[in-house]
Structure 1
């Protein structure tokens, strides 16, 4: 086989002329959103994916300030005189009729793949503290589709298109009233942006149909060569400020053209004598090439036939081996294009044969190893499943859900492996470990600002999982050890949806330790059914841990002797009832925190940990509270009481209670009663 390929490699150059061998490839690039995978996109701020579209701002009926952007992760190299063309369809809709509008959408080209700016008139692209001549902002080229009149930026109207160069103040703009286009009408609008580098002209066209209008709405002479560098990123951004406007990009294409060709195909009419001699020489060379071509075909014909036969036989045998080696032939991964399949061999090498020295964590799903790829030195976290008996079809179904999730506060799934009877998940590696280690390590290095960022980030990602995904995801195991910290100490929620990868007929509580019990909602202990509200309860406990620096079930060291178990929610609620809520703050902070933020976060934690699931706020509401866009939920001074029924599906002997709590039975219904403020029932 190798000899045949070597012979072909030796003979093939006979078919190529020197000019053909030297032919270069074009530098032009072309993107189409329909062909991009999730790994080709970078989502920043409040942007999200839904049904093949990109939402740039929060999808909420409550007025809020929001900013988001999406970029293509592939860099585009621009050259002198290069041109580009973009086409995209978008919808700007106002949920509440008659409400104040938002601020609009911008198409941009930036040298920074992490471009995200302020809300309001800055369109999620620029910042108020960044002047137009500083850092990467000076190189941003943008076309804004603005729906808000901002006089500070010289806007003409609340319905205009403008060209921005390093600043939200447009260098040229046009009111769209004369063209019959209303940007925030809620209609699908298509935009065409064409830049001709040699003519230094930028044109913008708009319409409600797929046909490009004959006349552009904006045509301006501008030289973009000082802004278009060797490596730039293409994207979209949008923002709101105290509005419910939604900004959605439906589809888009982008291409560059006009780069100089590596070959010169032009001819000249005034041929010199030397050119004539070269022409005669070329004629003779052509005849010689015909002879060589005939010889090559004579030899390569049988060779090509042999190569084809050997290749076909090799592919067939390999396919047969793969099929017969699979115990479950139904496992044909039909996942999104983002995560890739790793081989067991490369993961084994990256973890040193899954050596114990590479273990960085253990959980219900299995053991987590640190993997370092020998070829690239890239670090990953590899989760080795202990659920080898699980059907592969179920593994694919659950993995498909996880692979579609993309949020800045989620640990990103990079790939998977299903070889040698094992199920392996590959995630990006988080260098700062878990929140549990950062919060309870000695010394604790987390500042108050970092703790507040953790609470806000996890609230944002839970809102995404519960309300913004195409398929709702219930996490089921939110706790500090499942919250990881990246290199910038930003929170990333890990192990999401892993309960769905386990046996569904097995009680999720029976495998949990007593230390985890402090995170479980009362109704979950009773019915065994996980809901959005059970996640909210767990989040409330995590928030109280972040504020207090105490575990959900901790030892009370006061009073001397062996301390008894204390439930964190009970302890904080008692301080709240005594009007001493601020005393719950972690003493290790030594008072270095914002008092208003501490009280706000403590009240959020208590509100989420309310024993009555109907009284807990939705995670979208929590996000608004932490962003100061809504007031905290009302929290009663006395913790509500809850009664369990005797028909609870869990064996109470399996549950590790603390604080000497009891369980009352005898109710006929399988649901908890409404919370009470008095009586002899036991508090949870």
Structure 2
């Protein structure tokens, strides 16, 4: 109740304290105050992406919105060519034809992430901030960055696009210096000036959140670009060049971001951005201001200095008398509100992290920051579903060796608390020799950190697809048996069964003895044995998702079994779930390929040729049949993980596998459910419509967006 009189006092106070003579006020125009229909006002503008609504943005090509960020290229694990742009829908004035100023200065600050969704895919191409005379700016894919085309003419000043490119592909036809450079483009993808980032310790496609600053000083004709992982602007820019952009920056221009790929799975995301111009004269009316000042001046001569001072003192005393008690009341209400909010937060945290003190150790943020050298890029050893993994070296006493951990850091802490709590609640109470051991956790300074036992041999996919592959057949069989054992434990031996929902080779870690450890429980769900599992979020990795999961969105033990079957086939064949054929022109689904060989009575031909025939044929045949039976499109035909363990231990015979892969038929109601799933789980927005998904392969292992 005290807040209302306080607000009234704040509104009334300027009238009490106002001076006799009014001072003219100069305001800065915002993006929303520009003229309608794309017109621009010749005054400085300043806006923040956090304050923009969907109607303030124009999305072109493959760009989409997700959780407050803008994705510029397709989010897919299958290599493709893609281009997308996002522009502010309102025009921005960079020049003033009625003034002496030919062009203004501007400053841009934005954070971005360039990450490769598939470790085996090539990189490319990059991201760019641009200023364009056209709001419908969308160019070609690849090295054209979604901005330019092969027919673009750099000498066409009136239609030239000014862009600062952050390029991750070496295109010799555009005279690129390296596959990690920053350049200034004017009307053409050939940079007028560029710099290699190798000397600055910045890797654009590292997957880390990177902040960029672009400052153009119109009076000095100086453009500077700075980059940092920390979000703190460095004193030394990576690119500093003298260039006159006034011929290209006109009265009405559009600002935005663009990115493109060509035959890769690289994803380009803009997290946040701010933009402002300065150096233009204010849009105030000088004659009106002078008239106001003159009128005020005529009203003053009747007052002498003593009466004016007394009046001001009286007004000040009255303001203090009214505002003082109200300010005290407001401060009391504010203090009470903050205290209650803090108490609720502490209570919720206590409820959210039950009994963790008895299990894993709580680390301080300072400890983990020192152990990872401030989460330096050189310490990155992998990326999980919800964060980046760092190698942490904990100092020890002189008589003991240092302890090495793996620290997983959430990429978006404010959005991942539920996943953080889920992972803690799942793995804190689980014990199995083939589970990644949780050593501790940290929840400080807005950071969500999980500390695991360090696995010196990394993840299974890196070892399996490395050149050369050093994983022998006995080691591969041990991996398959170990993961089967831990899944049997999670599904049937825990007090509450655990559905992992993201079984894949990159989430299987290898210890010093190459024994498997299942990790990354960010998508896992706990549930009672007698309850039907229902998930409200279709999540996981393309190539490993069971077809009925895509159809209904319900995660069960059988969806984990399907993913395990794909992993088993990867281990046997040395091929990825979705791979290129021998000609490299078409994608091949691994399950379909192995099943075809089985139908031709050539199942043993699916064995990884890199093994050079050094494997037990009976074990290979047994494991391939297990993989096919687990990857059966019909979930009712898949074996339970306990039965799989018995088969691999030779305590039971393999499940009969039909020669022809069973067909899965989606009914009309099922296709409607697919649309509902896409709507409920997809945060993508393009043109105000939700993105849709549909099964592409026969087994539903791929999704075409």
Q: TM-score, normalised by structure 1?
A: 0.46
